[in-house]
Chains A and B, each alone.
Chain A
């Protein structure tokens, strides 16, 4: 059993969850309340990673993040190291792969808030930003936790996209799902079974938490 790959999976899922929840919250708020031209087109684009095959996403990320790609060149110019086949690279891939799972529950939670309590906050002298932190966030806790859990689960399950962007470098980019695949390829069924089994209780417990949260809210 490849313990290092479990550590990479956990690290990837935690980093992705923290970064994505913070970045996606304001975006979800804009999608929930703001009116701007082209909103349906942008919203569909945000949900596109959910509909595309992970290998297709992976292909485009390889193109973009490679040393000749737009993102890769900018990253190098900013003093970063190469993105492909590194941990940072798979974090970027996991972030993009999970965007819809962060946005959707948070947007739904924000939309559920009674418009009038937001208006009341404005009338009481708060700016849009203060209202977001003092009224919107505290009243959307279950949606935010649901988003975090879904992103976490989705990140530990990522395979195709990580394979394309990160390959399988032990201790760097080889996550548990890739380690399982490789164990099977090498006919190490015992190792694969052990690793596979350890996913089930974690995923089950988190899903249970999500359904509990949905019920509470």
Chain B
């Protein structure tokens, strides 16, 4: 039982050509330089982006199949998706945000306790910190009982301390759930700490040597355009 994707798409700077799968209960971490196609892959899984050719299946369900013209809309894929930036609904307080698509509203309180934001449930998103907003976004995603959780750099906009705390919380969360999680980051520490499997993605393709090259600092093998776009890796902590 797993999620599987193989997809091709012509992007502005390169052709995306990738294949991945992740079994239930495991976390697959996609890592690589910014602009390498990781977010596009996650958006394809979510149904927000359409591959030119490819197949996306979840367990026995076919979500996308270019050869048969199947493309299940995002709302029918029963996903949890935490975006890079905060995408909470500005007109709702944190509780209503998390309960937006909740299967059972009573569970939201438990989730808020688990993530330590119970005291903030009446606040609007603009009145809480970035870390609290991201915690709420994770609660929102979990409350709808997703069958697949997509986390696209959920910690990248946070300060170092909050980032560490939330990383621990995600690790604990991972042990409690039974569905696959696809996690995107450009932080090697985060990938090693959280991932059951790591998939480096560079210029739209799986590139197994990328971590080795990045840690070794062997810049001669990085193309100039990629080096310019890649952020320095956060290895300091």
Which residues does A use to contact B, with CB under 8 Å?
Answer: 114, 116-117, 119-127, 135, 138-139
Contact in complex: B91, A123 (CB < 8 Å): no
Q: Is the CB of A124 within 8 A of B144?
A: yes
Partner of A116, one of B47, B79, B85: B85
Q: Is B210's CB within 8 Å of the partner chain A?
A: no
Decide if B75 touches A120 in the complex (CB within 8 Å): no
Provide 13 A-B residue pairs closer than 8 Å at the C-beta atoms, listed in order of the A residue: A117-B87, A117-B88, A117-B89, A117-B90, A119-B83, A120-B87, A122-B47, A123-B77, A123-B79, A125-B78, A125-B101, A126-B75, A126-B101
A125 pairs with B48, CB closer than 8 A = no
B46 close to A (CB within 8 Å): yes
- The distance in angstroms between the C-alpha atoms of A183 and B78, with both chains bound, is 67
Cβ A122 vs Cβ B74 within 8 A:
yes
- Give the Cβ gap from B100 to chain A, nearest Cβ, in Å: 6
Point out the residues of chain B lying under 8 angstroms from A124, CB to CB.
Answer: 75, 100-101, 140, 144
> Which 10 pairs show the lowest CB-CB distances between chains A and B?
A124-B101, A120-B87, A138-B91, A122-B74, A123-B81, A125-B75, A116-B87, A123-B74, A117-B87, A125-B101
- In the complex, the chain B residue whose C-beta lies closest to that of A120 is B87
B135 CB → nearest A CB, Å = 16
The tally of residues in B whose CB lies under 8 Å from a CB in A reads 22
List of B residues within 8 angstroms of A125 by Cβ: 75-76, 78, 101, 144
Residues in A with CB closer than 8 Å to B140 are: 124
A138-B91, A139-B90, A139-B91 in contact; A123/B85 too (CB < 8 A)?
Answer: no
Closest Cβ of chain B: how far from A217's Cβ, in Å? Answer: 11
**Are A123 and B75 touching (Cβ within 8 A)?**
yes
Q: For the complex, is B116 an interface residue (Cβ under 8 Å from A)?
A: no
Asked if A119 contacts B89 (CB within 8 A), the reply is: no
Give min CB distance, A138 to chain B, whole Å: 4
The residue in B47, B87, B144 that gathers the most chain A C-beta atoms within 10 A of its C-beta is: B87
B87 and A114 contact, CB distance less than 8 A: yes
Given contacts A114-B87, A135-B89, contact A119 B48 (CB under 8 A): yes
- For residue B52, give the distance in angstroms from its CB to the closest CB of chain A: 18
Instruction: Name the one of B78, B83, B91 contacting A120, with C-beta atoms under 8 angstroms.
Output: B83
- B217 interface residue per 8 A CB criterion: no
B180 CB to closest chain A CB, in angstroms? 16
Question: Which chain A residues lie closer than 8 Å to B208 at the CB level?
Answer: none
Cβ of B231 under 8 Å from chain A: no
Question: What residues on A are CB-neighbors of B87 within 8 Å?
Answer: 114, 116-117, 119-120
